[in-house]
């Protein structure tokens, strides 16, 4: 039963292919066009023009890296225009495959007018390394970025390319109507510091005055993939650091990898969690230690 904060409506769609769900590529519009006039002069949009600028053009368009086309962030919704704001593309893909012989698909979706998670923000040491990881390894696309040289920081919003909002004609509008973005915040100069800069929240001593590890609250972000073992084979070939390979530990069939700053990224299957005999690091499915609390 819906509570007083939710209302429902039904949408019926006839589709010949699930590819109809994919929104067009997001084109770049500068932050100048979406901020008040008093702030526009402070936004740097010409890449490589100042110390706080990097060339991000390669992260904003083009096809997803091979093997990442179906990666989904766990807090992600697929958002469309005014007629269908919270349509689940995962369900549509699954049902399309199941009923492909019919030549069309009827989808009935119930929409709830409830808040959605638009972004999670993490601070990063080197924006180029982080964008390489999230865009070239995980297959995300840069949806929007803004540079604030007057405050010595930039922000970069990334999201899975097949789940970007098509609302509005400016990247800021599309970003703010795309749930599940990851905001990468770079404070100028951090890339020049030695070693790790930010505490990841998982038994990490970074930034502590006494060098002792702290019991942090932040745990991880997560993605889902069609096959965890195949995805991890690719991650391993790209030199990604593993915190837990698919067969390590007591829980089989899921993995944890690290981004350039050491933040954990959980890798889960989009279907049933099934263990394979040996994973990318040669760990057998049989045996293994039990659950480990990463905060300690």
Kindly list the catalytic residues.
Answer: 266
Map residue 133 onto helix, strand or coil: helix
- Do residues 281 and 256 lie in contact, with contact meaning Cβ atoms separated by under 8 Å? no
The annotation status of 51 as a binding-site residue, yes or no, is no
Which DSSP state fits 172?
H
Q: Determine if residue 173 is labeled as part of a ligand binding site.
A: no
CA distances for 172 relative to 70, 81, 167, angstroms: 25, 15, 10
* Other CB atoms within 10 Å distance of the CB of residue 115: 8
How many helices and strands in the chain, by DSSP H and E?
5, 11
Residue partners of 153: CB distance under 8 A and separation at least 6: 52, 185, 186, 187, 188
118 carries a ligand binding annotation? no
Distances (CA, A) of 253 to 115, 210, 239, 266, 288: 31, 37, 20, 11, 13
Return left, alpha or beta for 269; rule: phi > 0 is left, psi -120 to 50 is alpha, else beta.
beta
Q: Is 266 annotated as a binding residue?
A: yes
Interatomic CA distance for residues 257 and 242, integer angstroms? 4
- Edge to edge, the sheet with strand 72-73 lists 72-73, 220-225, 264-269, 255-258, 242-244
The annotation places the binding site for Zn(2+) at 119, 183, 220, 266
């Amino acid at each position: 039963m819906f509570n007083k904060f939710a209302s429902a409506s039904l949408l019926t769609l006839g589709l010949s292919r699930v590819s109809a769900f994919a929104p067009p590529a997001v084109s770049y519009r500068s932050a100048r066009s979406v901020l008040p006039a008093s702030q526009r002069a402070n936004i740097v949009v010409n890449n490589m023009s100042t110390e706080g600028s990097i060339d991000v053009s390669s992260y904003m368009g083009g096809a997803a890296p091979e093997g990442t086309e179906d990666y989904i962030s766990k807090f992600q919704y697929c958002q469309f225009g005014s007629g269908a704001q919270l349509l689940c593309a995962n369900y549509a893909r699954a049902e399309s495959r199941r009923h492909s012989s019919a030549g069309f698909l009827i989808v009935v979706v119930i929409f709830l007018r409830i808040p959605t998670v638009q972004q999670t923000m993490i601070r990063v040491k080197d924006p180029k390394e982080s964008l390489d990881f999230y865009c070239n390894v995980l297959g995300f696309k840069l949806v929007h970025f803004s540079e604030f040289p007057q405050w010595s920081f930039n922000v970069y919003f990334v999201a899975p390319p097949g789940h970007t909002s098509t609302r509005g004609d400016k990247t800021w509008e599309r970003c703010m109507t795309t749930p599940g973005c990851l905001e990468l915040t770079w404070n100028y100069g951090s890339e020049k510091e030695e070693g790790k800069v930010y505490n990841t929240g998982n038994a990490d001593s970074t930034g502590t005055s006494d060098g002792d590890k702290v019991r942090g609250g932040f745990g991880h972000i997560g993605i889902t993939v069609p096959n965890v073992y195949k995805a991890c084979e690719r991650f391993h070939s790209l030199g990604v650091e593993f915190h837990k390979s698919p067969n390590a530990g007591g829980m089989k069939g899921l993995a944890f990898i690290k981004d350039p700053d050491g933040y954990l990224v959980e890798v889960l299957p989009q279907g049933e969690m099934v263990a394979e005999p040996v994973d990318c690091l040669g760990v057998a499915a049989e045996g293994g230690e039990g659950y480990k609390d990463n905060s300690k």
